[in-house]
């Protein structure tokens, strides 16, 4: 089953799912305003002028407006010192109009990201990367969950429902994606294997997966032969490839043309996990605003 070239996996349409999520969040923002008389606000901070980061930040601001939230952009020069950035974070922490704070990574050298992220109040840490939220996720307590892993989880729940007992193999174990996603899948009742750059014979491990996630940035790593027939494949990777005509296109970690004939379901790149990340950032901002309105700081 699922191995003939005529077989086509079901495409997991992250774009459509994200659009539906945006719609729901827009309504939730209206309801939130009716209840509390407050509009959720998201502050996005960018240091330096990396063109890719600038595009991400502007897109985040645009989407924030689209769902009816307030957006506050802080574009700081490359020369900003760590103490200046820390002062800004403290101001944003104290500002009641701001419910979520996101500092775009990477930061210029000379600024310690760990110190910056952990200065953001845990209840405003909409990226979920601070130690309090990471610790809460690891302890199975309610937390703000990093956006991309949350996006993967929502897609998987939508596609598979109950995942109890499924073998999930996650390739890549970063703080941003692989590690938090592994914890989320564990909490769903999956048996989770985590692979990384030093793992031996990943192919044999991957082949056992009912759910195979790849988050490495290594284009074409996951071949069709690595996939168990019928498995669900989530491709988080993003690599920008230059084409001969001078333009570029985005590809994932999975050799899609092979995988689509073996997998049961698969996320395309682009249009799979990518659109879910911003939708989940907006969802997290709403979660953060609710936490602050209930005055139940997640620190206590
Ligand atoms: P990272 O560089 O921090 O981590 C990469 C991980 O992959 C590491 O754990 C490393 O050990 C592992 N790895 C690298 N090469 C490997 C190989 N050949 N075999 C096995 N493991 C290997 O990256 P990250 O921040 O976790 O991001 C991973 C990918 O996901 C990148 O392509 C990134 O652009 C993409 N990403 C996408 C989204 C999205 O919205 N879709 C969001 C975040 C990251």
Q: What is the tens place of the pLDDT at every residue in 148-191?
A: 999 999 999 999 999 999 999 999 999 999 999 999 999 999 99
Q: What is the mean pLDDT of residues 268-296?
A: 93
Cis? peptide before 75, omega within 30° of 0 = no
**What gap in Å lies between CA 185 and CA 150, rounded to an integer?**
10
Q: Rounded to the nearest 5°, which phi and psi values hold at 172?
A: 105, 130
User: DSSP class of residue 290?
Assistant: H
Kindly list the distances between the CA atom of residue 142 and the CA atoms of 78, 103, 152, 231, 295, in Å, as whole numbers in the listed order. Answer: 36, 22, 18, 29, 15
pLDDT at 52 over 90: no
Q: Under DSSP, is residue 4 helix (H, G, I), strand (E, B) or coil? A: coil
How remote is the CA of residue 121 from the centroid of ligand 1, in Å?
27
Return the pLDDT at 6: 86
How many C-beta atoms surround the C-beta of residue 210 within 10 A?
A: 18
Q: In CATH terms, is domain 38-122 a member of 3.40.50.10860? A: yes
How remote is the CA of residue 176 from the centroid of ligand 1, in Å?
9
Q: Is 168 exposed, middle or buried (0-12, 13-18, 19+ CB in 10 A)?
A: buried
How many C-beta atoms surround the C-beta of residue 159 within 10 A?
A: 17
Return the pLDDT at 58: 94
Return the pLDDT at 167: 98
| Mean of all residue pLDDT scores within the chain | 95
- Please provide the DSSP assignment of 31-86 as one string: HHHHHHS---EEEEEEES--HHHHHHHHHHHHHHHHTT-EEEEEEE-TT--HHHHH
Residue with CA at minimum distance from ligand 1 atom 43: 148
H/E stretch holding 241: strand 239-242
Could you tell me which residues come within 8 angstroms of residue 283 by beta carbon, excluding any fewer than 6 positions away?
21, 25, 150
Mutate to test the pocket of ligand 1, among 105, 197, 202 (most ligand atoms within 8 A of CB): 197
User: DSSP class of residue 120?
Assistant: S
Return the pLDDT at 295: 60
Q: Which of 75-84, 141-150, 243-252, 287-296 has the lowest mean pLDDT?
A: 287-296
Pair type for strands 248-251 and 239-242: antiparallel
% of the chain at pLDDT higher than 90: 94
Higher pLDDT, 142 or 3: 142
Contact 124, 288 (CB under 8 A): yes
CA 161 to centroid of chain Cα atoms: 20
Q: What is the mean pLDDT of residues 69-78?
A: 97
Higher pLDDT, 295 or 96: 96
Return the pLDDT at 296: 45
Return the pLDDT at 287: 97
% of the chain at pLDDT higher than 70: 97
**What gap in Å lies between CA 43 and CA 269, rounded to an integer?**
28
Q: Is 160 exposed, middle or buried (0-12, 13-18, 19+ CB in 10 A)?
A: middle
146-276 has the same fold as 38-122: yes
Q: What is the pLDDT of residues 215-260, one digit of tens each?
A: 999 999 999 999 999 999 999 999 999 989 999 999 999 999 999 9
Q: What is the pLDDT of residues 275-284, one digit of tens each?
A: 999 999 999 9
Say what the pTM is.
0.96
Residue with CA at minimum distance from ligand 1 atom 3: 174
Q: Rounded to the nearest 5°, which phi and psi values hold at 105?
A: -100, 155
What is the band of 4 on the pLDDT scale with cuts at 50, 70, 90?
Answer: low
The residues assigned a catalytic role are: 60, 104, 127
Bridge partners of residue 192, in order along the sequence: 168
146-276 — its CATH code?
3.40.50.720
pLDDT at 298 over 70: no
Return the pLDDT at 3: 58
User: DSSP class of residue 196?
Assistant: -
How remote is the CA of residue 253 from the centroid of ligand 1, in Å?
9
pLDDT at 78 over 50: yes
pLDDT at 60 over 80: yes
Q: Where are the domains of the chain?
A: 38-122, 146-276
Could you tell me which residues come within 8 angstroms of residue 271 by beta carbon, excluding any fewer than 6 positions away?
13, 14, 15
What is the band of 299 on the pLDDT scale with cuts at 50, 70, 90?
Answer: very low
Q: What is the pLDDT of residues 98-140, one digit of tens each?
A: 999 999 999 999 999 999 999 999 999 999 999 999 999 999 9
Give ligand 1 pocket residues (Cβ under 6 A). Answer: 148, 171-174, 176-178, 195-197, 202, 215-218, 221, 236-238, 273-274, 277
């Amino acid at each position: 089953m699922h191995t003939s070239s005529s077989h086509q996996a079901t495409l997991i349409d992250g774009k459509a799912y994200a659009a539906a999520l945006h719609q729901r969040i827009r309504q939730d923002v209206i309801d939130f305003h009716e209840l509390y008389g407050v509009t959720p606000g998201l502050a996005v901070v960018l240091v330096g002028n990396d063109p890719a980061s600038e595009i991400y930040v502007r897109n985040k601001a645009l989407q924030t407006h689209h769902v009816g939230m307030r957006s506050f952009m802080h574009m700081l020069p490359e020369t900003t010192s760590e103490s200046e950035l820390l002062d800004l974070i403290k101001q944003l922490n104290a500002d009641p109009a701001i419910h979520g704070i996101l500092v775009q990574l990477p930061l210029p050298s000379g600024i310690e990201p760990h110190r910056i992220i952990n200065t953001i109040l845990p209840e405003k840490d909409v990226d979920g990367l601070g130690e309090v939220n990471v610790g809460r996720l690891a302890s199975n307590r309610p937390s703000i969950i990093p956006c991309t892993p949350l996006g993967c989880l929502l897609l998987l729940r939508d596609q598979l429902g109950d995942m109890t007992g499924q073998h999930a193999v996650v390739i890549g174990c970063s703080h941003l994606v692989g590690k938090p996603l592994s914890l989320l899948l564990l909490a769903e009742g999956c048996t989770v294997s985590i692979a990384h750059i030093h793992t031996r014979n990943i192919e044999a491990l991957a082949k056992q997966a009912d759910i195979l996630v790849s988050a490495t940035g290594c284009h074409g790593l996951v071949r069709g032969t690595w996939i168990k027939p019928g498995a669900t494949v989530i491709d988080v990777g993003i690599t920008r490839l230059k084409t001969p005509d001078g333009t570029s296109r985005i590809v994932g970690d999975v050799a899609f043309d092979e995988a689509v004939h073996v997998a049961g379901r698969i996320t395309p790149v682009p249009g799979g996990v990518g659109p879910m990340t911003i939708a989940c950032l907006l969802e997290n901002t709403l979660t953060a605003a609710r936490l602050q309105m209930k005055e139940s700081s997640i620190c206590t």
